[in-house]
Amino acid sequence: MQANPRTVTALFEPTQRYVVPMFQRHYVWSRGEQWEPLWNDVEEKLDAKQRGDRTSPHFLGAVILDSARRTSTKQVSRFVVIDGQQRLTTFQLLLVALRDIATTRNLPHVARAAQRCLLNPDIELMERPEQEQYKLWPTLVNRSAFCQIISAGSPKKVLELFPVKYGTTATGRRKKNPEPRERLVEAYEFFVEKITKACAACKSTDSADNLLIELLSVLRDDFTVVEIILGENDDSQEIFNSLNARGKPLSQSDLLRSYIFMRAEKADVDRDQLYESYWSRFEDTWWDWETRRGNQTSSRLDTLTRTLLSSKVGNPIDVRRVHAAYTEWIETTEPYGSLEDELKTFVAYGAYFEQLNGKSDGTLSAFGHRMHTWETTTVFPLAIYLAVESGLAEQGLFAALNVIEGFIVRRAVCDLQTKEYNKFFIEVISRLRKVGPSLQALKHVLSSGEGETRRFPKDSEFAAAWKTKPVYGRLTSAQLTLMFRQLEAAIRSERAEVTPIPNVSIEHVMPQQWTDNYPLDGKSVSKEMNADWYFGRTPEEKERYEQLRPLIQQRRNLVQCFGNLTAVTQTLNAAMKNASFPDKKQYLRESVLALNRYFEKLPEWNERMIEERADILFRHAGKLWGGPMEGQP
């Protein structure tokens, strides 16, 4: 590692380039926090020079560079900017502003001196003159604006290229504030404004011209940096990570981006093509959105990285060490023949991740929506693995997803644990990699699980839970609504029109407060006896309660089971409330759902009717959410 004090302009005067790699953040410096303080420092040095005072150079900090290998004799020497890109970019914009004001005031010698710090000479000798003529080459996001500002040649032309625009309100009026423009353009215009005002404050044209000459001298002599050039044994990736830990911590996906494109910068590959063809899709703000699991948060891009990596290595990945695990996997196993192959895989996983999380439509979209409802997104690595790597045709993939959904829904209805799903579904991927992914292999792996955390309930267990386990209040309203939507679709024949279920809610056919309109064993029951606790005020009441208690408890249980639940619009739900069964039948006649045609011919609604309807619904449920392979433990 070499460390040398240099003036900022001394970095720019030689024929060489400073390339800001793709993994760096975009230009983010602003007027209040950085431009104003920098200009105040410039003015302070300028005032001292005009007074004839001796001053010491102003230190701007370190610029850390990693030299890149030249691939031909025509190629301009290139340095990768590991740290300092915000300072270098801002100083370039200040020099552009000085050049353009000097040109306007007919000071060609000042303009030429500034130009030498902006553009390399002899473009006819360059391998890629459209790139190599620029001393600084920003990230793709900032590059177009930066190059246009340098090439424009005047503040007027920059304003034509980037005009100030005002939007309109909903009533058609012009908004008070202009729409935001490129931060680079705003920085350039800020320095143009400051230099122009400084010239206007001078007493004469000659003094204004002298001011520009002195300003050039200040920029050339009075602002220094420590230039640190990394050696062959220095780990530029590790240095980048450590430096950026000083400010806002880098996310795991920031580290991943830096790792991929740091390697691309040093290799003889088309970095722009890699970025535009593959990585640019992940610059959408949708990928920055953070989600929480437990007490940890991570962006969607972080989650995608974990999804890909856990699928590949066959182990769950700690959210705090995704980058370290990814680096170790790449360097240990060398799974890809090129960076392009690596990014192609990342994009393939990303496309299905978008479908699963509602950003785009596709093969996995509906499954993803249902898994979000079931709060079981831990299954996504398995779903994406099957979509990307199994080779299953679309129908085979749908069948595989149905098997997975059957596993999840059956376990939910049977009230089995979900706490190890994150480990289990990764284990499934690992086992499928060994035997080869197929529909039969998936069924076999899911069917062979044992214990509360992995068992795939058979029809007998599923049927018993369906008929007797209370689900209202244990499963969420969204989960129950989803199940009844699917049951409705299954009940309808292929010839029947498809009817959506908008704004539905779950209705108890026998209401939870049933005592007024639903006798028990032919006898009326007081409201108090249906409470969680009842002690009775007299010996007679206590004795009567003891006789009815088993029946009351049975009814309280069945009221919350599938046989007593249905789906209706929220309007119908509010109208029915605790109505008697004859009145409820009248309301249910207004429903367009096949689910609710069942009640039309029933004379009454009691425990026996609830159990019979549970049996009928289960005929569809057992097929919708299929079970394990026969012969499995």
Nearest-angstrom CA–CA distance, 111 and 95:
9
Please report the sign of the dihedral spanned by the C-alpha atoms of residue 133, residue 138, residue 139, residue 142: negative
Residue 182 half-sphere exposure, CB side, CA atoms within 13 Å?
20
**Per-residue pLDDT at 246:** 45
Nearest-angstrom CA–CA distance, 452 and 473:
21
Contacts of 514 by beta carbon, 8 Å cutoff, 6+ apart: 530, 555, 559, 578
Nearest-angstrom CA–CA distance, 383 and 367:
9
**Per-residue pLDDT at 250:** 60
Question: Are the beta carbons of 5 and 226 closer than 8 angstroms?
Answer: yes
DSSP string, 163-181: -----B-TTSPBPSSPPP-
**Per-residue pLDDT at 263:** 81
Nearest-angstrom CA–CA distance, 345 and 378:
20
Residue 387: other Cβ atoms inside 10 A: 23
| HEC letters along 534-573 | CCCCCHHHHHHHHHHHHHHHHHHHHCCCHHHEEEEEHHHH
DSSP 628: P
Nearest-angstrom CA–CA distance, 184 and 89:
9
pLDDT tens digits, residue range 103-151? 999 999 999 999 999 999 999 989 889 999 999 999 888 999 999 999 9
Residue 374 half-sphere exposure, CB side, CA atoms within 13 Å?
26
Nearest-angstrom CA–CA distance, 96 and 298:
40
Contacts of 134 by beta carbon, 8 Å cutoff, 6+ apart: 17, 118, 119, 120, 146, 147, 150
Nearest-angstrom CA–CA distance, 378 and 117:
53
Mean pLDDT by 10 residues, the chain (633 residues): 78 92 80 93 90 83 83 86 90 96 95 95 90 92 93 95 81 78 93 95 91 93 86 56 50 74 75 84 84 75 89 85 86 91 94 94 95 95 95 94 97 94 94 92 93 92 96 95 93 62 84 90 84 80 81 92 92 86 91 89 93 96 93 59
pLDDT tens digits, residue range 198-234? 999 998 999 999 999 999 999 988 999 888 887 655 5
- 438 closest CA partner among 386, 395, 398: 386
- 422 closest CA partner among 517, 509, 311: 311
**Per-residue pLDDT at 152:** 95
**Per-residue pLDDT at 493:** 65
**Per-residue pLDDT at 241:** 54
